[in-house]
Structure 1
Amino acid sequence: MSRVLRRIAFFACAGVVLLTGCSSSSATPLDGVTESHDDGDGSDGVGSAGAGGAEPGGAGGAEPGGAPDVDGAPDAACDTLSAELQGALDAAVEAQRLPGAAAAVAIGGCSWLGAAGVADAEADVAIQPGDLFRAGSITKSFVATLALMLRAEGLLSLEDSVSTYVDGIPRGEQISVRQILNHTSGIFNYTGMDEFWTAALEDPTHTWTPAELIELAASKPPYFEPGQGFAYSNTNYIIAGLLVEAASGEPIGELLRTRVLEPAGLAHSYLDGAEAALPGLVHGYGRSRGELVEMTSALHASAAGAAGALVSTSSDLARFYRKLLDGTLLGPDELAEMTTWVDTPPGQVNGYGLGLSRRESPLGVQHGHDGGIWGFTSSSYYAIDSDASITVLVNLEGADVGRVVDDLSRVLATP
């Protein structure tokens, strides 16, 4: 397993998430995002169709069955769309030889949850739409949301230097909070370092402190002067976690739960390593010589921390992004800051904001995030013009989730 782990470098070199390639000057993130309709009744507005199933045991009740008649949409039209989406997901799992995938889609009056493949390859247990996955870099959208909430309350300024809040950050007096959140700080990515992987593989159970990860990154020269480029760095969001803790006076796990998870009704999400785990996490895998390799808990969650330790479901992520981008969680000023884009190298996205990325799709411009972490990849986006959200979670490292998102987007774009 160590050879597989070293090859993928989980959220550093997944290759199909946020940015293409993996070099010393730009690294790919952990993970993805999307939104779903809120029916105003405490549900997330995403019904399960095709694959059916319940949320994980102990995490809540079963999802509603069938494609619901939302906002007057004809049942027959939603049923037809659900069948086409399930067919596209089945085909994607087969084409990429994925262990399994779960997806959430909402457009207009129709919403759908689907799943294909297995949650446990050895036991041949089928994935259910409500199963839990590691979400990887989707965590960054949550942490950026916390930072912007604190900004709205006057507890944090995007233009302040990092050293205003946190000591011990290399060049902290020169780097702004904004530059941390949009990856223009120039700080080296710790997951792109041999030293990190050597230590992680020697002791996979090691509990990493943010200070340890930052110290590793500080041992390498910066990619560029602050504000003079873009380089995706997981170190930025390890620092972002410390920033929101310092500005709020609360641990990030408690802050995330009280400020985002509970208010948004995300009952099936948690920050791994910072709070108690929920049951229902599917098995995650890598590939070695064509064979699946178990990687569900290959490293301690603290190795990802505020950069990627979130665990969630497709419906919870859909609900989060809907509430984020419709102004429920953030006000217009904060959303404007979050969607102020900086240029990114050529790849799957064409702009990065504050914990949010922008990409083109068959449905037009989509906002969201991608992710890849040990054993898992994910992608979740919301198409502004068509009011369509798509989330795809896969229990295989390095899966081309962007391709699956586009496959589902084409189904929605077809008249």
Structure 2
Amino acid sequence: MKTSIQQCNNYLTNNLLVALLVALITTVSSCSSDDHVNSPTINYTTVENLLTDIDFQGYAIVTKNGNDLVRQGFGLANESTALPQDYNLAYRIGSVTKTLTAAAMVQLKRDGLITSFNQTLDEFDAEFPNGNQITITQLLSHQSGIPDYQFIVEEAYEQGATLDEEDIYEVVIEMISENGLNFTPGSNKQYSNSNFLIAALLVQELSQMSYHEYIQQNIFSPLEIANTYKGTNAIDSNTHAEGYKNGNINSTYPMTIAFGVGDFSSTPKDMETWVNAVKTNWFTEAEKAEIFAEDVPSGYVDFGLGWFTTQEGNTTLYWHGGDINGYWSMIGFIPEYNATIVLLSNKQDDTGTQRNTIIEQLLTNEFN
């Protein structure tokens, strides 16, 4: 990763930006939009009724034992042109991107570019602060203690700064150098986008190809995933659902900020292909044992390597959600019922509530 760091001349010479970032560190705390919250019980007869009742807008797929519980669009993909939601339409997927970044790290291990997930960051960048304490496992399971850069860099962007992923890496280093880690690595768990930006940079550095090209070559092409791609700051409304928040179009985002963290757009078809691959044989059994958190108590959620585990009684849901301007998403699977879940929404009004309501209602009423 050292080669990439040496290219960050713009950041290193911008003292004003450094001062802004250091000042913001003391006022912004990291958080997870995927935090689990309780939601009210809803009486419904079908999954379609549930999604209609909570005003879900987007495309939904829920299968159980090979049968569809729902497979359809809700609302419009573009309210100006009356474009319908569609199985082959693109949506921003936000942090669902992290499942792909984690898979790329597994591929690095297959390729012999890393030897173990217990390797520490100082092996790749000797100058990374506290790098000798942070393992790849801790990085991918949010146990590193590395603070989240997202809100700080978004604020810098609003102030006119232009940062690429390598600049943001330097921001993360500056945050740690000024204020330390949020906790001793391995002693706690706290969702942080910084973990996956670092992982994506590792993919680039070790593979000697771009992060997106590595995923294309090793995941998308073999699985014939044809319409998942690095998102652009502004969407193409002919092939992409428009994003909305509070009734207004909200589809633009500086995608460099989401590098390896939330920068992909995808279709329901491609995400269904990806979930089914993960559910079956994309990972070996040995790899699954490392990736998915096990022995989670009923009623709890835990981090694995790029995937959450939610346990409800004897039912286990492996999943990840995502949020980005105007959109929210969720993909997951339930092995006990051979179930696949793909939810891609272009309405960001009640993101956490909608996602958690759907999870709770499905686990309570459909998969128990």
Band the TM-score falls in, shorter-chain normalisation: 0.7 to 0.9
Matching residue of 1:367: 318
The SS at the match of 2:203 is helix
Which consecutive unaligned segments of at least 5 residues does structure 2 have? 1-29, 39-44
Which of 127, 132, 155 in structure 2 is aligned with 1:198? 155
The SS at the match of 1:385 is helix
Which of 246, 251, 269 in structure 2 is aligned with 1:315? 269
Deviations 1:81-127 (A, max 9, x none): xx94433332332xxxx5x2211122223235211111123344332
Q: Is the 8 A contact 2:153 2:257 kept in 1?
A: no
1:254 aligns with 2:213: yes
TM-score normalised over the length of structure 2: 0.78
Which consecutive unaligned segments of at least 5 residues does structure 1 have? 1-11, 22-82
Normalized per residue, the structure richer in helix is 2
Alpha-carbon separation, structure 2, partners of 1:215 and 1:102: 38
Alpha-carbon separation, structure 2, partners of 1:396 and 1:14: 19
Q: Is the 8 A contact 1:207 1:302 kept in 2?
A: no
Alpha-carbon separation, structure 1, partners of 2:204 and 2:62: 33
Which of 184, 190, 197 in structure 2 is aligned with 1:238? 197
Q: Is the 8 A contact 2:204 2:210 kept in 1?
A: yes
Q: Is the 8 A contact 1:390 1:405 kept in 2?
A: no
Matching residue of 2:142: 183
Q: 1:130 to 1:89 in 2, by over 3 A?
A: farther
1:138 aligns with 2:96: yes
Identity among equivalent positions (%) equals 22
Q: CA deviation at 1:168?
A: 4.9
Paired residue total: 323
The CA RMSD over aligned residues, in Å, is 3.0
Q: CA deviation at 1:197?
A: 3.1
Matching residue of 2:290: 337
Identify which range, 234-243 or 314-323, moves more after superposition: 314-323
Q: CA deviation at 1:180?
A: 0.8
Q: CA deviation at 1:285?
A: 1.8
Q: CA deviation at 1:211?
A: 2.5
Matching residue of 1:326: 280
The SS at the match of 1:150 is helix
Q: CA deviation at 1:18?
A: 4.1
1:155 aligns with 2:108: no
The SS at the match of 1:320 is helix
Q: Is the 8 A contact 2:310 2:316 kept in 1?
A: yes
TM-score normalised over the length of structure 1: 0.70
Deviations 1:158-193 (A, max 9, x none): 1111132246533223211111111111000012x4
Deviations 1:138-168 (A, max 9, x none): 1111111111122133221211111322465
User: For residue 335 of structure 1, what is the amino acid of its counterpart?
Assistant: K
Matching residue of 1:382: 333
Alpha-carbon separation, structure 2, partners of 1:208 and 1:368: 30
1:395 aligns with 2:352: no
The SS at the match of 1:262 is helix
Q: CA deviation at 1:282?
A: 0.8
The SS at the match of 2:52 is helix
Q: 1:295 to 1:363 in 2, by over 3 A?
A: farther
Q: Is the 8 A contact 2:64 2:338 kept in 1?
A: yes
User: For residue 50 of structure 2, what is the amino acid of its counterpart?
Assistant: A
Alpha-carbon separation, structure 2, partners of 1:20 and 1:185: 24
